[in-house]
Amino acid sequence: MIKNSLLFTGANGFLGKNILSLLKEKGYEISKLDISNSDIECNLSREIPKLKTFYDVVLHAAGKAHIVPKTEEERHVFFDVNLKGTVNLCKALEKSGIPQVFIFISTVAVYGCENGNMITEEHPLNGNTPYALSKIQAEQFLLDWSKKHNVILSILRPSLIAGTNPPGNLGTMIKGIKTGLYFNINGGKAKKSVLMVQDIANLVPLLLEKGGIYNVCDDEQLSFGQLGNLISNQLGKKKPFSIPYFIAKGMALCGDILGKKAPINSDKLTKITQSLTFSNQKAKEILGWQPLNVLENFRVS
């Protein structure tokens, strides 16, 4: 029988801030592992943590994302954090006691897709960015490690995650709408898969017995227009206006030259004008999971 002691890595990040209390409500006795302000303070990319006790469940959410590396050194950081950090964690677990369950927060970026419709877990792992490659290599390491040590392994591949103070593109959208600088392109028709962050906590109990690799997202594939309208309504702002693609293309080319100060570049333009959605059917069928509806549950803080 699986008990309820849980080690949560990266617990001070976006995920932890949104689901820690939910996990406690579900009865888990949680130890936080992070660089600072945690029960166990450790930089996993540089050292093996000293774990003083055995944990039934490990939720490994510590990782690096949401930046485009400019130098070779910045590229290496992804592998140090996402791959080496995972290896160091497992080395520590081998000393303190092998957990019954290991849950790894990966990403749909492992597929390497810029567009597509209802992509499943069977899609090849073609991601070639440092972020994607480091996650792919961490997944493979964990598959081998869990098999060797008879651990129930779950790999979650979330899509865009909605929650309080979200990072990445959703956070950028909220900031842009607040300041009046966000706009849609061609009506914001491109669709993306989105996941409510609370669903990570809801999935944990379902993963304790079965394990597996799962895409996780809402049933409804939302357009940028829908997300923008939802956010603007909650903030009491005007709905984002829309500009033609050819104007956005010119702005993106200028953004490639100007760098971070520009509101848009070619990479961002691709992401917000092409639909990219994922199938959650496997998780629903095998785990009996029913995702939260993003339009009904997402609240802008």
Q: 5-166+193-224+278-297 falls under which CATH superfamily?
A: NAD(P)-binding Rossmann-like Domain (3.40.50.720)
Contact 12, 33 (CB under 8 A): no
Lowest mean pLDDT among 39-48, 110-119, 262-271: 262-271
Q: In what order do the strands lie in the sheet with 276-278?
A: 116-119, 276-278, 191-192, 222-223
Query: What average pLDDT does range 143-167 have in this prediction?
Result: 96
**HSE-up of 212 (CA within 13 Å, CB side)?**
18
pTM, 2 dp: 0.93
Token couple for 52? 């003083």
pLDDT in tens, 262-276: 777 888 787 788 999
The mean pLDDT value for 238-251 works out to 86
pLDDT tens for 129-138 read 999 999 999 9
Residue 48 burial (C-beta neighbours within 10 Å; 0-12, 13-18, 19+):
middle
